[in-house]
């Protein structure tokens, strides 16, 4: 599992590409949760490999949890999802909450 906040200036497409690339490198058991502030808004991107999905880890569910912390909404499919909100100060907390939901 990789779960972290990206502090460098990335855009949403770059964050999506990074999330999928890291997940591909880690393999089918991977869960990748990346967050960043993009255009002054916090966003999270989550990927869940097929083995992780079989264990009940759904990216869409994790995105909903993380984005609720951020004061927004999110969702997606079992393998990839994204979310965002308005409170960038809670980005680290949002990532932490998504990780906690896995355990």
Whether residue 85 has pLDDT greater than 80: yes
**CATH code of 11's domain:** 3.10.310.40
2/70 Cα distance (integer angstroms): 20
pLDDT of residue 86: 97
pLDDT of residue 9: 86
DSSP for 33-44, written as a single string: EEEEEETTEEEE
pLDDT digits (tens, 9 = 90+) for 17-61: 999 999 999 999 999 999 999 999 999 999 999 999 999 999 999
Domain that residue 35 falls in: 2-102
Helix 91-102, helix 59-69: angle, nearest 10: 140
1/66 Cα distance (integer angstroms): 16
Q: How many domains does the chain have?
A: 1
> What contacts 100, CB < 8 A, 6 or more positions away?
none
pLDDT of residue 36: 97
């Amino acid at each position: 599992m990789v779960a972290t906040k990206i502090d460098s200036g990335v855009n949403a497409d770059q964050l999506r590409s990074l999330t999928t690339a890291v997940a591909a490198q880690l393999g089918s058991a991977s869960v990748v949760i990346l967050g960043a502030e993009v255009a002054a808004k916090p966003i999270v991107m989550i990927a869940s490999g097929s083995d992780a999905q079989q264990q009940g880890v759904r990216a869409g569910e994790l995105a909903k949890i993380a984005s609720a912390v951020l004061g927004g909404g999110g969702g997606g499919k079992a393998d990839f999802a994204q979310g965002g909100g308005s409170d960038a100060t809670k980005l680290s907390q949002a990532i932490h909450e998504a990780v906690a939901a896995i355990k």
